[in-house]
């Protein structure tokens, strides 16, 4: 039941995201299907070829590459994966042929001053495991393919052939489940690129934390355990994690972030709306809907609910300590009630965008990538006067 609700939520989120992306300054980029996947078996849940959208760089950015993972949750059992395989999150047959590129993917300097002329790629998400799965067997009754890791490798190999093998600068980023993927694949991204390439990784709303829900249950850990088992993900997790703890624990960034070699940036809302709705207060922990209004709008929370949410923020910051204090590890942790901020122009760079110390997300990420300044920004706790005009919930 929990998985079904999460699946419906994520498809709704994807549709709404596409609508919200259509803002001033957008460009529309056509889809590219990965060719000759039969030999590698790098296919979506339904067996269709994986896909991505590539907007070529120009000028001084012609040898710079931004590879961005699409987000969209996970599927944890055959039923939820079958449902997903009939949607854009599991089949390239269902994907839009054109996607608007906005925020960090925009090709307009005014809206994306540091990355506008890079080669910008959005990898479509059609495997349901944050690109970690690799199961050879295919059940003929369902025809489900669990091949996320192979999709990742197939797309990167194609991009290398298309010029990324000459990359001067490269950044791997992603939103939500894609933000988790950018953490889990950061080391392999660097390893696949030419020696000497300046490689960094950015996780947007992908720092999911391992906490009990309001009923005291470990719902998210159980959910991650089912994902890892179904998709055969454990072989693609870092040995430094799986040798110490249960495989599902290695789906939480706090347990895998320390051995990451390239510089890493964590962008997240301390009151991540998805995590509050689905980790802290999943429907199963609130059968009477006591949290309904609060989960819809943090300003409608009761004093006791707000106290619980402030406690979640403290647990989030505690989990974030695993990132360490190296200047190469940047972070921007605002106090918005939101989820994903790089893909949306309103939260990336626009008048009224979220700021910390008058610094926008776009400036913080640019300063960190180009080593203009160390970036370690954590906003204060939410209050009724907090302003987050353009939040994507």
How do the pLDDT tens digits run along the chain, 393 residues long? 455 445 444 444 443 443 343 455 578 999 999 998 989 999 999 999 999 999 999 999 999 999 999 999 999 999 999 999 999 999 999 999 999 999 999 999 999 999 999 999 999 999 999 999 999 999 999 999 999 999 999 999 999 999 999 999 999 999 999 999 999 999 999 999 999 999 999 999 999 999 999 999 999 999 999 999 999 999 999 999 999 999 999 999 999 999 999 999 999 999 999 999 999 999 999 999 999 999 998 889 999 999 999 999 999 999 999 999 999 999 999 999 999 999 999 999 999 999 999 999 999 999 999 999 999 999 999 764 455 644 544
114, 127, 272, 379: the active-site residue: 272
Query: For this structure, is 231 an active site residue?
Result: no
Give me 108's structure tokens: 């307009």
CB-based contact 41:145 (threshold 8 Å): yes
- Single out the catalytic residue among 339, 353, 379, 392: 339
Are 69 and 175 within 8 A, CB to CB? yes
Name the active-site residue from 87, 102, 130, 176: 176
The reported pLDDT for the residue numbered 17 is 44
Nearest to 276 by CA among 9, 8, 1: 9
pLDDT of residue 12: 44
Say if residues 108 and 54 touch (Cβ distance below 8 Å): no
pLDDT at 175: 98
- For residue 272, indicate whether it is catalytic: yes
CA 318 to chain centre: 20
Distance CA 288, CA 292 (A): 9
Q: Given this model, what pLDDT does residue 14 score?
A: 43
- pTM (2 decimals)? 0.92
Q: What is the pLDDT of residue 387?
A: 52
pLDDT at 385: 46
Bridge partners (DSSP) listed for residue 356: 359
pLDDT value, residue 80: 98
């Amino acid at each position: 039941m929990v998985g079904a609700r999460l699946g419906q939520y994520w498809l709704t989120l994807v549709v709404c995201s596409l609508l919200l992306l259509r803002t001033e300054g957008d460009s529309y980029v056509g889809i590219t299907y990965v060719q000759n996947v039969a030999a590698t078996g790098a296919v979506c849940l339904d067996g269709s070829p994986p896909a991505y959208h590539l907007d070529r760089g120009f000028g001084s950015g012609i040898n710079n590459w931004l590879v961005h993972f699409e987000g969209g949750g996970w599927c944890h059992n055959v039923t939820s994966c079958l449902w997903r395989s009939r949607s854009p999150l599991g089949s390239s047959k269902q994907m839009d042929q054109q996607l608007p590129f906005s925020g960090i993917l925009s090709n307009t300097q005014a809206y994306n001053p540091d990355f506008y002329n890079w080669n910008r790629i959005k990898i479509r998400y059609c495997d349901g495991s944050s690109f970690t799965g690799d199961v050879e067997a295919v059940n003929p009754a369902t025809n489900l393919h669990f091949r996320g890791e192979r999709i990742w490798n197939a797309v990167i190999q194609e991009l290398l052939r298309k010029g990324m093998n000459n990359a001067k600068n490269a950044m791997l980023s992603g939103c939500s489940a894609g933000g988790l993927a950018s953490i889990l694949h950061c080391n392999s991204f660097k390893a696949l690129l030419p020696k000497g390439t300046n490689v960094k990784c950015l996780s947007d709303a992908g720092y999911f934390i391992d906490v009990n829900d309001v009923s005291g249950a470990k719902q998210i850990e159980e959910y991650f355990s089912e994902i890892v088992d179904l998709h055969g993900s454990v072989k693609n997790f870092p040995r430094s994690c799986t040798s110490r703890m249960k495989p599902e624990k290695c789906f939480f960034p706090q347990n895998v972030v320390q051995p990451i070699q390239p510089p890493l940036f964590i962008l997240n809302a301390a009151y991540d709306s998805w995590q509050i709705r689905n980790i802290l207060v999943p429907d199963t922990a609130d059968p009477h809907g006591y949290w309904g209004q609060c989960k819809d709008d943090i300003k409608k929370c009761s004093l006791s609910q707000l106290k619980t949410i402030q406690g979640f923020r403290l647990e989030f910051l505690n989990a974030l300590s695993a990132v360490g204090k190296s200047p190469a590890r940047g972070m921007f942790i605002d106090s918005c009630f939101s989820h994903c901020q790089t893909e949306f122009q309103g939260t990336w760079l626009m008048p009224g965008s979220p700021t910390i110390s008058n610094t926008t997300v776009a400036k913080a990420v640019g300063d960190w990538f180009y080593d203009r300044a160390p970036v370690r920004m954590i906003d204060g706790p939410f209050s009724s006067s907090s302003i987050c005009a353009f939040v994507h919930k």
